[in-house]
Amino acid sequence: MSPPAPAAPARPSLSVLVPVYDEEATVYELLRRVHRAPVDLPREVVVTDDGSRDGTVAEVERFVRDHPDANVRLERHTGNRGKGAAVRTSLARATGDIVLIQDGDLEYDPRDYPALLEPLLDGRADAVFGSRFLGGPHRVLYFWHSVGNRALTLLSNVFTNYNLTDMEVCYKAMWRRVALSLDLRSDRFGIEPEITAKLARGGWRLYEVPVSYAGRGYEEGKKITWRDGVAALAHIVRYRYLP
In a domain, 6, yes or no: no
Whether 2 maps to a domain, the answer reads no
Contacts of 22 (CB under 8 A, 6+ apart): 52, 53, 54, 56, 221
Q: Residue 1 domain-assigned?
A: no
pLDDT at 196 over 60: yes
Whether residue 206 lies inside any domain: the answer is: yes
Would you say residue 200 lies in a domain?
yes
Distance CA 205, CA 199 (A): 8
What is the domain range of residue 211? Answer: 14-241
Count of structural domains, the chain: 1
* pLDDT tens sequence across 222-232: 555 656 556 66
Query: In the predicted model, what is the mean pLDDT of residues 194-213?
Result: 94
- Candidates 229, 243, 135; CA nearest to 197 is 243
Q: Are 173 and 128 in contact (CB under 8 A)?
A: yes
What pLDDT sits at residue 22?
96
Average pLDDT for 95-107: 96
Which tens digits make up the pLDDT trace of 111-166?
999 999 999 999 999 999 999 888 765 555 556 566 777 888 888 888 888 999 99
Please determine, for residue 2, whether its predicted confidence score (pLDDT) is greater than 60: no
What span, in angstroms and rounded, lies between the C-alpha atoms of 169 and 132?
A: 7
Asked if residue 31 belongs to a domain, the reply is yes
| CATH number of the domain enclosing 190 | 3.90.550.10
Residue 51's pLDDT band (cuts 50, 70, 90): very high
End-to-end CA distance of the chain: 20
pLDDT at 219 > cutoff 60 = no
* pLDDT tens per residue, range 7-44: 667 789 999 999 999 999 999 999 999 999 999 999 99
Q: What is the pTM of this model?
A: 0.86
Task: Give the C-alpha separation, 35 to 37, whole Å.
Answer: 6
For residue 188, is pLDDT > 90? no
